[in-house]
Amino acid sequence: MLDSKFSFELLAQDEKARLGKIYTSRGVIDTPAFMPVGTQGTVKGIFTDDILKTGTQIILGNTYHLLLRPGIEILNNFGGLHSFMNWQKPILTDSGGYQIMSLSKFNKIDLNLGAIFKSHLDGKKIILSPEKSIQIQKAINSDIVMVLDECPKQTSNKKILSEAINISTHWAKRCKIEFGNNNSKALFGITQGGLDKELRIESIDKLIEIGFDGYAMGGLAVGEKQSDMFQILNETTDLLPKNKPRYLMGVGTPSDILGAVNEGIDMFDCVMPTRSGRTGLAFTWEGKLNLKNSKYQKDNTPLDNKCRIKDLNKYSKSYLNHLIKADEMLASMLISLHNIYFYQQFMLKIRENINRGTFKNFYKKYINFFN
């Protein structure tokens, strides 16, 4: 029987790269881990049973969007998102902090009230306070809850970055109080500071002082160069507690993930596998393949001979090219499922190489492979 207490176990390291396990009441998560994004209670275009077959152990939902639809009342009626969407494995929820940035034209920030949104659906006023964010995530019944933070757009302006740290720290304290004592769930803090080493260290120190079950690197993957992201991770990730999970939010390409694992990151999420699938882009051990390209029109080979989920290994690139050109929805469904499967296979290979002490060789082979 699964232990109801949330915990993290560090099993091995290969230089900075870490192999571990996160224990939750709904299942074990092997790290480094990739979380497919189910913003509105669905990983777009893929059945939950098939997501499970890819080896996915945790998915991500979004507090802001689930508040709008279906709303807290319906989620409470179902006892949370797990039953509502038929997914019994762990769920992590973004707090709504990313929407403060991505939907900035629809909101304003107040230190005491929180984020004041004008719904992009119907114009209704929504106040997302730190307390409200936690309450919604409790209604979702999230296994890993994120604090509400201000994630500024890409900038080198120290005043803007510093203000974001002050607001995020203030909200993080309030989130922890609202979260209360719950050993079966986890609350993660989110560091800010952009690419500024001193500010990033300041944010980390403040969050460690508050104390969380895990720590996320926020405010990255917002348009900066990949090399700059790797540099700030190199300078600051080791300052995070060794015995807690480390999560890089919104990342990313296989190369992004590989480079961040190299700097000691344990958890990732991104819409890229499914978003790319909807545009005909497949991630494979051959590299990135744009299946819209006419060169695949007569290619009778599958994307992956080994993938038997939904008989994906029986669909040729030629057929997928045809589906795309015919504007058939099956194209995006099959490619999206393949991409999630590939990402999970990629994470599995990362874990195997860390365990064997051969991660550096794997890193060197693939760090530029998908660029």
Signed CA dihedral, 65, 68, 69, 71: sign only? positive
Q: Are strands 144-146 and 114-118 parallel, antiparallel or unpaired?
A: unpaired
CA distance 262 to 284: 21
Catalytic-labelled residue, pool 14, 50, 149, 269: 269
186-191 and 144-146 strand pairing? parallel
94 given a catalytic annotation: yes
Looking at 14, 94, 196, 213, which residue is catalytic? 94
14 has catalytic annotation: no
CB-hemisphere CA count at 13 Å for 265?
30
Q: How far apart are CA 341 and CA 371, in angstroms?
A: 19
CA angle 70, 75, 79 (to 5 degrees): 160
Which residues belong to the active site? 94, 269
